[in-house]
Every structure is written in structure tokens, then in C-alpha cells.
């Protein structure tokens, strides 16, 4: 490429913006894991400043001209560069819609609110969170309105587009409607079948945190996590952060129940494997990013739900679990552990929910955040609306807000429009796992031996290595033969919970 090639200049600039973003990712991880509480204001200043710097680079006065000139010559670009240019334009539209002061205000408000949320959740005190959460929502609405005008979308769709490019409420409503057509009727059938089978034998604790940590490290390694390029830590809410070459995953431990932390590690390892598998030559360009949060959540749920709650994996893991905690006896046999891991029962906590009830948790959050953003639900009334929705959808009412509307970090952290991607990811996970089982006939045999290499190789080729070369439906269609739908998820639930 010649020196004055506008596309080459864009690649150079986006690589520098990527470096700023990656630095912010590590600071974000540190804020949630190791940073002392007293440093929160300073960290908020650091993150806000990095956000403004990146925004200024993206919205430089000559960026619009560079993009237009590059697009004028895109006929000479190969498919990866053409897709990269498309993603550059999409990113520019999002950033250019916002003034720098709004970018800074958003970063500062979410940082402040997250720190307040930690204490509010600990004390089940929603009123303590309300002032900072109100500021976060006010700013989220301003962001949504600005981006809606730039993208020609509704406010909610504009926010959703940040997490799932091309994602729209109309599509979500259709898919969620299909789920609502069978999930409420399926739930009592599954629970009745469990009742007839008898109760599982309890696993006697306590389970020391250090033993849980070592078990989590072993299982993450078995799945393919590279500890030369990543680490496992503790946070108030499990998450994956860092960069493709330095992936940071977290979990949280409960000495009375090791199963929650272990599956949290497995879930976050799925995210980490996606990040580590993004196309190496394009990691510092938009086309090398993960396609969106639907595919990202599909990777975590594929590992956690599809692969690691299978009887094949539990048969492999059971011996390691017994060794980790020095246990033996009927309760610690693979069959009983598998029944515990696949037990279906309405519960208060989303991240601990089973596959059948999990979508109902997401539908509630989707319903509530749309109402808040539309001005139809006041934030002061959120706890009551949450409790009413839990009673309607799951038949239970949280005893306090810590296990109710305060349980998730997403709204305090400013992630409005994010929640639907969890259940859309579960649908995609079912499709992908069904496809890989057809493509790799002895897949479950390999998983039963703790060998995830065949699964990971298929995902690297069909999902991870695609980056953002194509949209979600195209990647899914190429890998599974069809765009995102509910059929594979329904078939999976019926097979595991009603016929197995």
C-alpha cells in the first residue's frame, strides 16, 4: 500500500485506538478484583480520560474524509480489509454520535455507581444505590437518543447495537415469544419428572476456597485455557476481561456449595477461549473483534451448559471433584453429581439458574430495562416491579433486593441493552453444539476423557477465527446451516430433561 492510502492510515489509527482500549480493559479488570476501594475516584478519572482520548482519536476532524476516501477505493480490498472498513464505519458512527463530555460523563457515572452497588448489594439497600443509578440511567438515555438519531433506530435498539451489531427488538420479541410458547409448560413437566426420580443425595461440605480454586484451575486448563496468557481471580460478579493475549477471568466462592464457583469458571473460560481464539492477524482491528455478545455468550453457555453439564463431562470431572475435596460414597458418584448439575428449580439468582428457567430471568430484565428507558417505569419502583415479575414468571418472590434487583452488576455499570444477548446466546450455543456433534461424531467420547481439543478446533474454525468478518446470522448459518432460532434449544431441553 502506498503511503497516502487512506485505508492504510485508518488501520494505523485503529491499531492505536485498540491499544488505548486494551489498557482500559486491564484497568477495568483491576477495578473489580484487586483495586482498594479508596482508589475508586482516581480509577474513574483514569478510565474516563482513556475513554475521552479514544473518542477524540475516533472523531478526529479528518476521520470522515478518510473513511469516505477508503470506501471509494474498497473495490481493491480483499474480503478481510473490506469487512474491516465496514466495521470501522460502524464504530465511527457510534462514537461520532456522542460529544466528548457525554463519553466522559458516562464513564465516570458507571465507575461511581459500580462502587456504590457493591456496598448496596452487600447490605440489600436499593435506596442507597438509587441516586447514582438514576444518573447512570439519565446518561444512558442521552447516549441512546444520540445514537438513535445517528443510526436511524429506536433508543433501545441503538443501545442494543453497541453489544450486538444489527440486533433489534423486533427479532428479540419474535424469538422470546417462541420461547414463551413452550417454556412455561415445559417447566412443570421437567420438575414432575425430577420428583418421580427422587431427590439427589446432598454433597457434604464445607468446601475450602483453596481446594475450589485448584479444581477450577484444573477444569479451565482441561477446556483449553492458556495460563501463560491469562489468569483466574475473584470478583463480586464473575466476568471475563483483559485482552486476547492477556485474558482475565473471575469467579466467586461459597464454601457451602462448590458447584456454583466451578460452573462460573467454566462459563468464563468459554468467553476466554473466544477472546484467545480471535484471528491473530486482525486483533488490533475492528474486524478482529468478537462479532457481538450473542456469539460471545454462546461460547460461555456452550461450555457451561451444553458440554460441561453433559453426563460425559461429569463422568470425567467426578473423580477430580472427589480428589479435590477428599470425598467418597454414593453422593459423590458421577450420576448423582450430574443430577445436581442438571437440577431444574426456580431460583432467585440468574447466574445460578438452570437452562429451563434461565431465559425467564432474562425476559424479566429485558422487560424492565425497556420500561425504564421508555419512561414507563420509575427507578424507584424497580424493586417492586422486579418482585412482581419474578412471581409471574418463576412463581417466587425474592426476600430482599440483594437477591432481587441488586444481584447483577450490569445496570449500575451502564450496560443497558445488554441482557437479551444472554438468552440469544443460549439459542446460538444449542445450534452450534448440535452442529459440532454432527461434524465430530465422537465428540462426547472425547469430552468424557477430558479432551476438549476436537471441540475447540471446530469452534476456532467456525466461530472464533471468524472475528467480525460477517454478521451473527451469517456466521451461524455457515456453521450450523441456519440463522438464529429456537428449534435446537427446544430439542436440547427436551432431550436432556424429558427423554434422557
- Which sequence positions are flagged as catalytic? 268
Contact 212, 385 (CB under 8 A): no
- Size of the chain, expressed as the number of residues it contains: 500
User: Exposed (0-12), middle (13-18) or buried (19+): which is 177, by Cβ within 10 Å?
Assistant: exposed
Say how far apart CA 216 and CA 481 lie, in whole Å: 34
- For residue 66, what is its C-alpha cell? 478518510
Strands 246-251 and 240-243, bridge-based pairing: antiparallel
User: Exposed (0-12), middle (13-18) or buried (19+): which is 70, by Cβ within 10 Å?
Assistant: buried
DSSP 372-400: HHHTSS-GGGHHHHHHHHHHHHHS---SS
The helix or strand, by DSSP H or E, that contains position 284, with its residue range, turns out to be none
Q: Dihedrals φ, ψ of 303, to 5°?
A: -70, -50
Distance of CA 208 to the CA centre of its chain: 28
Say how far apart CA 113 and CA 100 lie, in whole Å: 20
Say how far apart CA 205 and CA 100 lie, in whole Å: 52
Q: What share of the chain is helix, strand, coil (3-state, %, to 5)?
A: 70, 5, 25
On the CB side of 339, how many CA atoms lie within 13 Å of its CA? 17
Amino acid at each position: 500500500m502506498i503511503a497516502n492510502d487512506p485505508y492504510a492510515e485508518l488501520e494505523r489509527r485503529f491499531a492505536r485506538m485498540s491499544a488505548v482500549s486494551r489498557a482500559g480493559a486491564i484497568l477495568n479488570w483491576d477495578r473489580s478484583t484487586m483495586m482498594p476501594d479508596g482508589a475508586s475516584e482516581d480509577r474513574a478519572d483514569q478510565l474516563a480520560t482513556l475513554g475521552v482520548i479514544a473518542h477524540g482519536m475516533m472523531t478526529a476532524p479528518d476521520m470522515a474524509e478518510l473513511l469516505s476516501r477508503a470506501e471509494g477505493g474498497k473495490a481493491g480490498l480483499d474480503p478481510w480489509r473490506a469487512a474491516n472498513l465496514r466495521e470501522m464505519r460502524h464504530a465511527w458512527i457510534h462514537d461520532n454520535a456522542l460529544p466528548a463530555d457525554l463519553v466522559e460523563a458516562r464513564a465516570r457515572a458507571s465507575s461511581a455507581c459500580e462502587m456504590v452497588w457493591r456496598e448496596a448489594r452487600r447490605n440489600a439497600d436499593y435506596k442507597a444505590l438509587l441516586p447514582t443509578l438514576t444518573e447512570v440511567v439519565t446518561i444512558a438515555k442521552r447516549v441512546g437518543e444520540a445514537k438513535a438519531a445517528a443510526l436511524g433506530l429506536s433508543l433501545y435498539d441503538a443501545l442494543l447495537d453497541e453489544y450486538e451489531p444489527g440486533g433489534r427488538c423486533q427479532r428479540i420479541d419474535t424469538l422470546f415469544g417462541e420461547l414463551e410458547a413452550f417454556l412455561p409448560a415445559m417447566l412443570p413437566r421437567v420438575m414432575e419428572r425430577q420428583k418421580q426420580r427422587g431427590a439427589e443425595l446432598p454433597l457434604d461440605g464445607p468446601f475450602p476456597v483453596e481446594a475450589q480454586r485448584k479444581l477450577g484451575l484444573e477444569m479451565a486448563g482441561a477446556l483449553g485455557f492458556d495460563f501463560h496468557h491469562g489468569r483466574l481471580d475473584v470478583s463480586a460478579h464473575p466476568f471475563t476481561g483483559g485482552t486476547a493475549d492477556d485474558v482475565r477471568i473471575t469467579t466467586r466462592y461459597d464454601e457451602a456449595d462448590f458447584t456454583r464457583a466451578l460452573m462460573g469458571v467454566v462459563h468464563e473460560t468459554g468467553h476466554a477461549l473466544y477472546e484467545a481464539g480471535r484471528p491473530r492477524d486482525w486483533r488490533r482491528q475492528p474486524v478482529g473483534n468478537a462479532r457481538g455478545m450473542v456469539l460471545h455468550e454462546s461460547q460461555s453457555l456452550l461450555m457451561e451448559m451444553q458440554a460441561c453439564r453433559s453426563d460425559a463431562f461429569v463422568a470425567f470431572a467426578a473423580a477430580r471433584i472427589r480428589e479435590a475435596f477428599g470425598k467418597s460414597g454414593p453422593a459423590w458418584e458421577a450420576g448423582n453429581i450430574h443430577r445436581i448439575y442438571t437440577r431444574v428449580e426456580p431460583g432467585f439468582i440468574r447466574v445460578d439458574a438452570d437452562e429451563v428457567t434461565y431465559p425467564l430471568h432474562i425476559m424479566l430484565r429485558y422487560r424492565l430495562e425497556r420500561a425504564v428507558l421508555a419512561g414507563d417505569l420509575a427507578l424507584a419502583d424497580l424493586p417492586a416491579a422486579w418482585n412482581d415479575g419474578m412471581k409471574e414468571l418463576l412463581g417466587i418472590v425474592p426476600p430482599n433486593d440483594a437477591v432481587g434487583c441488586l444481584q447483577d452488576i450490569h445496570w449500575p455499570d451502564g450496560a443497558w441493552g445488554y441482557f437479551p444477548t444472554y438468552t440469544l446466546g443460549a439459542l446460538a450455543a444449542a445450534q452450534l453444539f448440535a452442529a459440532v456433534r454432527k461434524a465430530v461424531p465422537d465428540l462426547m467420547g472425547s469430552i468424557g476423557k477430558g479432551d476438549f481439543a476436537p471441540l475447540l478446533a471446530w469452534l476456532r474454525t467456525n466461530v472464533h477465527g471468524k472475528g467480525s468478518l460477517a454478521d451473527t446470522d451469517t456466521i451461524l448459518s455457515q456453521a450450523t446451516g441456519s440463522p438464529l432460532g429456537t428449534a435446537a434449544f427446544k430439542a436440547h431441553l427436551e432431550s436432556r430433561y424429558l427423554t434422557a
